[in-house]
Amino acid sequence: MSKNISNLSGRIGLKDNLFKKLSENVLNNSPKDIKEIAKEYNLGVSTIHGAESFYEFLRPSHREKKAFVCNGSACMCAGTQEKLKETLKSKLGNDKVGEMFCLGHCYENHAFHYDGENYAGKDIEKIDQILKGEDIKQEKFFSKSFATTSFLMDDKLSSTDQFKEQLKKFLKTDKKEIIKSLLDSNLTGRGGAGFPTGMKWDFCSKAKGDKKYVICNADEGDSGAFSDRYLLEDQPLKVIFGMVICGLVIGSDEGVLYIRGEYPKSIEAINGCINELKKLNLLGENILGTDFSFDLGICIGQGAYICGEETALIASIEGRRAEVDVRPPFPVTEGLYKKPTVVNNVETLAAATGILINGAEKFSSIGNKKSAGTKLVCLDSFFNNPGVYEIDMGTSMKKIFNEIGGGYKEPVKAFQIGGPSGWCCSIK
């Protein structure tokens, strides 16, 4: 059944994908009858309803609310949210305040969402201005690299001119050389599974298919993690460049960033970059006058934590219920719309860019063979120096907590490492 839905949804394609159509329809002030959408995609009404009802943000109970308080573990442990909720209820009404899971403001807490924007820290003190629609000055997360060589936080790809020069270079580079660089670097996926990135790209490049796709998994849902948010907002060109080069290597002309709806500023930053790159012919048809074409779009997540898993994310884009598929087949041979697909997370794509610019040897010389290179770590508000930091793989927890993090604001018993899918580690 799911294969039929994938194929039927694939007839329309990625630009007008079914998930986007469902989301826009529900969020429209005058939504269509879902029978019309079902007819357009040759699907049953029950299939459309089943997919639509899966997502928290598309449910009537969610849409009736005006503000949403973050209920991620970092904010909850900080003990800031109950008072915040009461303040919002006093302004908006008891039945107008709901909850959202982790808004990526773990470094300052007091996080809430209102009218399409996230607020945190001392923003609640300006609630009257916010409710009037006035712009307020917001604190930015602190970021710094402590790595031997920075691959993720350097400024070597911070402008479209730099993007253009690097793209010119790699459009002339043998695709096998690009894959070899990634293989030699020992870069493994930063999304959790740790699969060798070069191997994934190589497998997909060799897979047979009349169409291939590149997907950036930007559905960072783990509470306490905001490293993807940093890259999407402060290093967007690194992420996009990684996708473009992946498309070049595997023979794809189309990609998509699936960004969680809880990150409105990330969506705005990436959307702005895509539009600018298209104007400069660095994305789209016949890039820089070559025969290579590659276009990018955005899918906005609608509140489903499971979409952080690659097969559930693919199912979501196709307009199916975002449920995990059995593997094999793996996405590199049968992914989006049953076509060969590379799915990499945000940090993996940015790291691939850093490797291509700085060299595989530099990357592989950091850390060890199983865990090479640098990594972003996030420290929440319990540290004296909360923020996102780039460190060498193999850096001790003691150094991260005490030297980089500056120790703790108050005594702690344990750490939650790796989000809800990680574990709790005793301070001893």
CA 92 to chain centroid: 31
Instruction: Report the candidate in 237, 210, 354, 353 with the shortest Cα–Cα distance to residue 296.
Output: 237
Please tell me the predicted confidence (pLDDT) of residue 411. 87
At which of 329, 360, 391 does a domain end? 360
396 found inside a domain: no
What pLDDT, on a 0 to 100 scale, did the predictor assign at position 2? 66
Is there a single domain that holds both residue 45 and residue 81? no
Is 192 inside a domain boundary?
yes
Task: Say yes or no to pLDDT of 221 above 90.
Answer: no
Q: Is 97 exposed, middle or buried (0-12, 13-18, 19+ CB in 10 A)?
A: buried
CATH of the domain at 67: 3.40.30.10
Alpha-carbon separation of residue 338 from 306, 326, 333 (angstroms): 20, 13, 8
The percent of residues in the chain predicted with pLDDT above 70, rounded, is 99
Region 305-320: mean pLDDT is 94
Domain boundary among 360, 388, 412: 360
Check whether residue 185 and residue 243 sit in a common domain.
yes
pLDDT band at residue 19 under the 50/70/90 scheme: very high
Q: How confident is the model at residue 427 (pLDDT cuts 50, 70, 90)?
A: confident
Percent of the chain with pLDDT over 90: 84
In a domain, 48, yes or no: yes
**Is the model's pLDDT at 45 over the cut of 90?**
yes
Helices (H), 135-235: 160-171, 175-185, 197-206, 227-234
Number of domains into which the chain is organized: 3
| Least confident span in 159-163, 164-168, 189-193, 305-309 | 189-193
Least trusted range by pLDDT, from 35-44, 205-214, 289-298, 354-363: 35-44
- In-domain check, residue 148: no
**CATH code, 202:** 3.40.50.11540
Which residues are paired to 112 by β-bridges?
Answer: 69, 119
User: Domain check: are 66 and 195 in the same one?
Assistant: no
Average pLDDT, integer, range 4-22: 87
Query: Using an 8 Å Cβ cutoff, are 29 and 63 in contact?
Result: no
Of 53, 81, 96, the last residue of a domain is 53
Between residues 12 and 202, which one has the greater pLDDT?
202
Given a cut of 60, whether residue 1 has pLDDT beyond it is: no
pTM for the whole thing?
0.95
Q: In terms of domains, do 347 and 221 share one?
A: yes
Structural domain boundaries enclosing 19: 2-53
Between 225 and 270, the higher pLDDT residue: 270
Same domain flag for 122 and 171:
no
SS3 per residue for 24-84: HHHHCCCCCCHHHHHHHCCCCHHHHHHHHCCCHHHCHHHHCCCEEEECCHHHHHHCCHHHH
Q: Are residues 339 and 273 in the same domain?
A: yes
pLDDT of residue 401: 93
Residue 390 lies in a domain: no
Q: pLDDT tens-digit profile of 68-125?
A: 999 998 899 899 999 999 999 999 999 999 999 999 999 999 999 999 999 999 999 9
User: Taking residues 204-222, what's their average pLDDT?
Assistant: 95
For residues 111 and 164, membership in a common domain is answered with no
pLDDT of 249 > 70? The answer is: yes
Give yes or no for a contact between 221 and 101, defined as CB atoms under 8 angstroms apart. Answer: yes
Average pLDDT for residues 175-192, to the nearest whole number? 95
In a domain, 138, yes or no: no
Pair of tokens at residue 149: 């060589």
- Residue 186 is predicted with a pLDDT of 96
Average model confidence (pLDDT) for the chain? 94
Q: Are residues 49 and 72 in the same domain?
A: no
**Is position 159 within any domain?**
yes
User: Are 100 and 210 members of one domain?
Assistant: no
Residues 159 and 261 reside in one and the same domain: yes
pLDDT tens track for 128-153: 999 999 999 998 899 999 999 999 99
User: Do residue 30 and residue 92 come from a single domain?
Assistant: no
pLDDT at 420: 66
Q: Which pLDDT belongs to residue 419?
A: 66
Asked if pLDDT for residue 243 goes beyond 80, the answer is: yes
Pull the structure tokens for residue 293.
């074409």
Give the model confidence (pLDDT) of 163-181 as tens digits: 999 999 999 999 999 999 9
Tokens 């498309």, residue? 247
Inside any domain, residue 217 = yes
- Other CB atoms closer than 10 Å to residue 314's CB: what's the count? 26
| pLDDT interval class at 414 (50, 70, 90) | confident
Do residues 229 and 263 make contact, with C-beta atoms less than 8 angstroms apart?
yes
Together in a domain, 172 and 282: yes
HSE value, Cβ hemisphere, 13 Å, CA-based, for 224: 20
DSSP E strand stretches across 292-410: 295-300, 341-345, 374-379, 387-392
**Of residues 388 and 7, more confidently modeled:** 388
Helix (H) or strand (E) holding 416: strand 414-417
